[in-house]
Chains A and B, each alone.
Chain A
């Protein structure tokens, strides 16, 4: 409908948020390349995109892996704006990271201004259950309060890694179909045309 016709598969934009060191990059890389990175290298903003088959339909997933660190907080809002769905990651071995999810959630809601934005609370490093610092019920309680799903993953063992990305994509997809129903296509079109003329003059 827009002037650049999107002949390719649907694109779902996913953003990884969470404190530093919780395994956002590890999850992303595991999902993208089936590899696990042992060493910790702070991220700034990484971009990944690939084709996947979601329920028989070919789609593209675009993953933005963010820093999750205070230093880059200023640009964060910009990233959030572009996201369609969020994986909010914390490490079950680090209570501070769990507490931080609260703030991420608030920031996202502030930027997106939408309570029902596709969002998953992800407790990573579940392979380190013996070092668990965040009780499961506390995690579930929080997810319930936010009415979002809670999933525990391990970037190391690949447990639930595909699940979180696919679940999130499904939410984004159903969200989009709802949206397209809600807004009329024509009105959008008109807006575009008007802008075109202005550049001409």
Chain B
């Protein structure tokens, strides 16, 4: 046999008759038929019992009263027990009181009608013994109940016990008093006995009435017996039984009606309770209109939770309606999600709402109609597409506008910002604002915050980002890098910026650093996003190219300025360790330093995540070297022009003294002797002086200035531009040589040209005897002229003495050799004289006589015919010593060696 049923749970635990109760417990039967008895508070409820499971029965309470057990009886387990109790209460219900259950309206107390208890006169008196019980209360024996079981001290009760009564009420009364009490009682009983007789006497009338009544009753009874037979009670019993059946029927009927009322009430209750649901279709529409999608999601999910699995048709219908509306809202939302422009936050909110609506609606009939959307991904795509179109539109807009204005106004205001620059700024702004948004949205998508039910597409997203950046760079490239070859770029993209006028292009060049700045700002924003390095590399490449372009532009501009440096030449010789060199190289250095500073701050200093443009063998280095070379050769040309300028401007002063005319007034410029002259204008400086200065400048450049420039570059962090420096030095050296030739030719030719006429002045003949003992005037003149040249050079740049004088001396010696060889015969004295002249010149210019000159001098000496005999030689030596002594000051002059 199965265990006994036991009830352990009741829901609810109290209520009026007719309450629906869920009974829970154990072993409540193993099938509906197993349940054979159910009593709640002693009222049989089997009729309404609905067996659900061995743990659960649902029943309705019957017309019971008070609190009582729930007894389940099963075939398998027998009569059960209960650990919980049900309490029946009767609710009085008024027209204003709301009630959840049906209330019995007739009062069951009314069964007791008609019965009245007669008052028993003497026996109920307070104190039957006539004794006061005052003072006895406190002394109730402790265990009275145990002593006298099944008894009480109530006179009216059947189980009245005198002992109890006495113990209870008279435990403190003395025996004498009790005896007195007893006699009192006896007296009272006696008097009552007597009293019965007198009672009858005094009430004889009514006694007779009673007798009459009894007689009447007997007559009636006999009549009844005649009418209904000897057992009239059977009829009564039958009708009672009938009424019981009838009442049962009514009760059941009432139960059914009550059930109906209950359900109606439940519906009304549900309606008011579920007002929320019924208002929902309109509510969601209203909320959606107001853009409060969060609330839509919440309300919808609440409705789904509460009614998602409901079987009630009306709820289902409303829910279907809601589902339809939600579908519409989803469509709206999807449109809003992909609508651009909008903020990421907003988009995120919409996506979240949409995704959660979608998730909640999946599985339902309507919901499945609109599936397979991945709103976040759609949003990403929309954003990417928007970025792309914005970039393209902006480009087209600016490019077209630029083309239009160029046609109209050829000479625009040069201070006006070029369209390209404006475009750069705008496109960088767009990239710096839209790309981060796109990236952020992507992050949200991939971290799962916004992802729908679909797998993410990281490859696609990356491609999207790369593509966007690529596009961005293409536009910038087309706009900024105007010097680069853009043919392939134009072909692949089909885009181009209309080519403007030269001036416009030129104007734009100076704005390129500005463009670089815009690009860099955008780049910095993108770097902070943690984009993949692949993406950043694309921009870096562009930026590096632009930087290099900037560098070129700035250097080209510097070269242009360098070309105009000639205006700055003041002929002030300020180079301490290189006399003769002017301040022009210093001006060049200042220009270069300024340029390098500018270049450094504009483009060469790499910012975050930028390449070093100066890698060995890189385009950067090649560019630097080339630009520097251009710059320096421009400078060389400036010097050259400065040197030759004079040819056009003035006739060179042939300040060579000639015995033919009167000697040219030697320069008496007071400044010359001091070594510095401060010319207020070019005219104040002679052509020779300028020539010399330029020569000195060349030499200075070659020797120390250009290497110094190299060091300057190193100081600025560049690799030593050896090639550029060396090439420039070579050029300068070349120019120096040319210029030197020019000067020597200019100075030496007149000087040498005067020797022959001077020699044969006054019909002089070498084969005539002559007075000897002095130097011939032509030799004197030659010496003096050389001193003039010498001093001219010396005052400007002693370093130039040797190269210039050597050349001149060489031509002099050559001329002497030629002249001597032309003389057919020398007289005795003539030979001595010629020997002395030649030797003096040779000895005087000893410091500047090179090998060739030495040979010419020797040739000249040997050309004297006939050669000198010993006496002639002695005489010549004597005269030479004498002459040297006389001319020692002039000779001393040539003795000064170059510094």
Residue positions of A touching B, CB distance < 8 A: 25, 29, 32-33, 35, 38-40, 43-51, 60, 62, 64-65, 193, 197, 200
Assess whether B153 is in contact with A200, with CB atoms less than 8 Å apart. Answer: yes
Enumerate chain B residues within 8 angstroms of A193, measured Cβ to Cβ.
Answer: 142
Query: Using a CB-CB cutoff of 8 Å, which residues 9-39 of chain B contact chain A?
Result: 9-15, 22, 24
Enumerate chain A residues within 8 angstroms of B84, measured Cβ to Cβ.
Answer: 47-49, 62
Assess whether A32 is in contact with B8, with CB atoms less than 8 Å apart. Answer: yes
Query: Distance (Å) between the CB of B319 and the closest chain A CB?
Result: 16
Query: Distance (Å) between the CB of A124 and the closest chain B CB?
Result: 15
Query: B210 at the A/B interface (Cβ < 8 Å)?
Result: no
Query: B306 at the A/B interface (Cβ < 8 Å)?
Result: yes
Query: Distance (Å) between the CB of A5 and the closest chain B CB?
Result: 14
Assess whether A50 is in contact with B10, with CB atoms less than 8 Å apart. Answer: no
Query: Distance (Å) between the CB of B471 and the closest chain A CB?
Result: 40
Query: B140 at the A/B interface (Cβ < 8 Å)?
Result: yes
Q: How far is the CA of A25 from the CA of B10 in the complex (A)?
A: 12
Query: Distance (Å) between the CB of A9 and the closest chain B CB?
Result: 11
Q: How far is the CA of A24 from the CA of B297 in the complex (A)?
A: 26
* Contact A33/B24 with A46-B10, A65-B11 known, Cβ cut-off 8 Å: yes
Assess whether B83 is in contact with A49, with CB atoms less than 8 Å apart. Answer: yes
Q: How far is the CA of A40 from the CA of B12 in the complex (A)?
A: 15
Q: How far is the CA of A64 from the CA of B9 in the complex (A)?
A: 10
Query: B374 at the A/B interface (Cβ < 8 Å)?
Result: no
Interface size, B (range): 20 to 34
Assess whether B12 is in contact with A44, with CB atoms less than 8 Å apart. Answer: yes
Query: Using a CB-CB cutoff of 8 Å, which residues 39-83 of chain B contact chain A?
Result: 55, 83
Q: How far is the CA of A64 from the CA of B84 in the complex (A)?
A: 11
Q: How far is the CA of A47 from the CA of B15 in the complex (A)?
A: 12
Assess whether A49 is in contact with B8, with CB atoms less than 8 Å apart. Answer: yes
Enumerate chain B residues within 8 angstroms of A51, measured Cβ to Cβ.
Answer: 83
Assess whether A200 is in contact with B11, with CB atoms less than 8 Å apart. Answer: no
Query: B168 at the A/B interface (Cβ < 8 Å)?
Result: yes
Assess whether A50 is in contact with B8, with CB atoms less than 8 Å apart. Answer: yes
Query: B100 at the A/B interface (Cβ < 8 Å)?
Result: yes
Query: Distance (Å) between the CB of A4 and the closest chain B CB?
Result: 14
Majority SS at the chain B contact face = mixed
Query: Distance (Å) between the CB of A48 and the closest chain B CB?
Result: 4
**28 A-B contact pairs sorted by A residue (CB < 8 Å):** A32-B9, A33-B24, A33-B55, A35-B55, A38-B309, A40-B306, A43-B11, A43-B12, A44-B11, A44-B12, A44-B15, A44-B100, A45-B14, A46-B9, A46-B13, A47-B9, A47-B11, A47-B12, A47-B13, A48-B10, A49-B83, A49-B84, A50-B83, A51-B83, A62-B84, A197-B137, A200-B152, A200-B153
Enumerate chain B residues within 8 angstroms of A48, measured Cβ to Cβ.
Answer: 8-10, 24, 84
Enumerate chain A residues within 8 angstroms of B140, measured Cβ to Cβ.
Answer: 197
Query: Distance (Å) between the CB of B866 and the closest chain A CB?
Result: 131
Q: How far is the CA of A45 from the CA of B19 in the complex (A)?
A: 12
Q: How far is the CA of A197 from the CA of B145 in the complex (A)?
A: 11
Give the interface centre of A25, A39, A45, A193 by most chain B CB atoms within 10 Å. A45
Q: How far is the CA of A62 from the CA of B153 in the complex (A)?
A: 39
Assess whether A46 is in contact with B153, with CB atoms less than 8 Å apart. Answer: no
* Contact A47/B168 with A33-B55, A197-B140 known, Cβ cut-off 8 Å: no
Query: Using a CB-CB cutoff of 8 Å, which residues 321-366 of chain B contact chain A?
Result: none
Enumerate chain B residues within 8 angstroms of A47, measured Cβ to Cβ.
Answer: 9-13, 84-85
Q: Would you give the 0/1 interface string for B290-317, flagging 1 where the beta carbon is closer than 8 Å to chain A?
A: 0000000000000000100100000000
Q: How far is the CA of A46 from the CA of B380 in the complex (A)?
A: 55
Enumerate chain B residues within 8 angstroms of A43, measured Cβ to Cβ.
Answer: 11-12
Enumerate chain A residues within 8 angstroms of B83, measured Cβ to Cβ.
Answer: 49-51, 60
Q: How far is the CA of A47 from the CA of B168 in the complex (A)?
A: 42
Q: How far is the CA of A46 from the CA of B14 in the complex (A)?
A: 8
The 9 A-B residue pairs whose C-beta atoms are closest, nearest first, are A47-B13, A46-B11, A48-B9, A49-B83, A44-B12, A50-B8, A47-B84, A47-B10, A49-B84
Enumerate chain A residues within 8 angstroms of B11, measured Cβ to Cβ.
Answer: 25, 43-44, 46-47, 65
Query: Distance (Å) between the CB of A137 and the closest chain B CB?
Result: 22
Q: How far is the CA of A21 from the CA of B11 in the complex (A)?
A: 16
Q: How far is the CA of A25 from the CA of B12 in the complex (A)?
A: 11
Q: How far is the CA of A45 from the CA of B14 in the complex (A)?
A: 8
Q: How far is the CA of A50 from the CA of B10 in the complex (A)?
A: 12
Query: Distance (Å) between the CB of B892 and the closest chain A CB?
Result: 106
Enumerate chain B residues within 8 angstroms of A40, measured Cβ to Cβ.
Answer: 306
Query: Distance (Å) between the CB of A43 and the closest chain B CB?
Result: 7
Enumerate chain B residues within 8 angstroms of A62, measured Cβ to Cβ.
Answer: 84
Closest to A8 in B: B83
Known A25-B11, A46-B10, A197-B137; further 12 A-B contacts with Cβ < 8 A: A29-B24, A40-B306, A46-B12, A47-B11, A47-B12, A49-B9, A51-B83, A60-B83, A64-B13, A65-B11, A193-B142, A200-B153
Q: How far is the CA of A48 from the CA of B24 in the complex (A)?
A: 8
Enumerate chain B residues within 8 angstroms of A45, measured Cβ to Cβ.
Answer: 12-14
Give the interface centre of A25, A32, A62 by most chain B CB atoms within 10 Å. A32
Closest to B55 in A: A33
Enumerate chain A residues within 8 angstroms of B306, measured Cβ to Cβ.
Answer: 40
Q: How far is the CA of A43 from the CA of B13 in the complex (A)?
A: 10
Q: Would you give the 0/1 interface string for B95-107, flagging 1 where the beta carbon is closer than 8 Å to chain A?
A: 0000010000000
Q: How far is the CA of A64 from the CA of B152 in the complex (A)?
A: 39
Enumerate chain B residues within 8 angstroms of A64, measured Cβ to Cβ.
Answer: 13
Q: How far is the CA of A32 from the CA of B55 in the complex (A)?
A: 11
Give the interface centre of A29, A48, A60, A197 by most chain B CB atoms within 10 Å. A48
Closest to A79 in B: B13
Enumerate chain A residues within 8 angstroms of B168, measured Cβ to Cβ.
Answer: 200
Query: Distance (Å) between the CB of B159 and the closest chain A CB?
Result: 14
Q: How far is the CA of A47 from the CA of B9 in the complex (A)?
A: 6
Q: Would you give the 0/1 interface string for B148-167, flagging 1 where the beta carbon is closer than 8 Å to chain A?
A: 00001100000000000000
Q: Would you give the 0/1 interface string for B483-506, flagging 1 where the beta carbon is closer than 8 Å to chain A?
A: 000000000000000000000000
Enumerate chain B residues within 8 angstroms of A25, measured Cβ to Cβ.
Answer: 11
Closest to B8 in A: A50
Query: Using a CB-CB cutoff of 8 Å, which residues 266-306 of chain B contact chain A?
Result: 306
Give the interface centre of B24, B137, B142, B152 by most chain A CB atoms within 10 Å. B24
Q: How far is the CA of A48 from the CA of B55 in the complex (A)?
A: 13
Query: Distance (Å) between the CB of A132 and the closest chain B CB?
Result: 14
Give the interface centre of A32, A47, A62 by most chain B CB atoms within 10 Å. A47
Query: Distance (Å) between the CB of A128 and the closest chain B CB?
Result: 10
Query: Distance (Å) between the CB of A192 and the closest chain B CB?
Result: 12
Query: Distance (Å) between the CB of B371 and the closest chain A CB?
Result: 22
Enumerate chain A residues within 8 angstroms of B9, measured Cβ to Cβ.
Answer: 29, 32-33, 46-49
Enumerate chain B residues within 8 angstroms of A50, measured Cβ to Cβ.
Answer: 8, 83
Assess whether B13 is in contact with A32, with CB atoms less than 8 Å apart. Answer: no
Query: Using a CB-CB cutoff of 8 Å, which residues 458-513 of chain B contact chain A?
Result: none
Enumerate chain A residues within 8 angstroms of B142, measured Cβ to Cβ.
Answer: 193
Q: How far is the CA of A50 from the CA of B55 in the complex (A)?
A: 13
Q: How far is the CA of A49 from the CA of B140 in the complex (A)?
A: 40
Q: How far is the CA of A48 from the CA of B84 in the complex (A)?
A: 6
Enumerate chain A residues within 8 angstroms of B8, measured Cβ to Cβ.
Answer: 32, 48-50
Enumerate chain A residues within 8 angstroms of B85, measured Cβ to Cβ.
Answer: 47
Q: How far is the CA of A51 from the CA of B25 in the complex (A)?
A: 12
Q: How far is the CA of A29 from the CA of B11 in the complex (A)?
A: 11
Closest to A197 in B: B140
Closest to A43 in B: B11
Q: How far is the CA of A50 from the CA of B84 in the complex (A)?
A: 9
Enumerate chain B residues within 8 angstroms of A32, measured Cβ to Cβ.
Answer: 8-9, 24
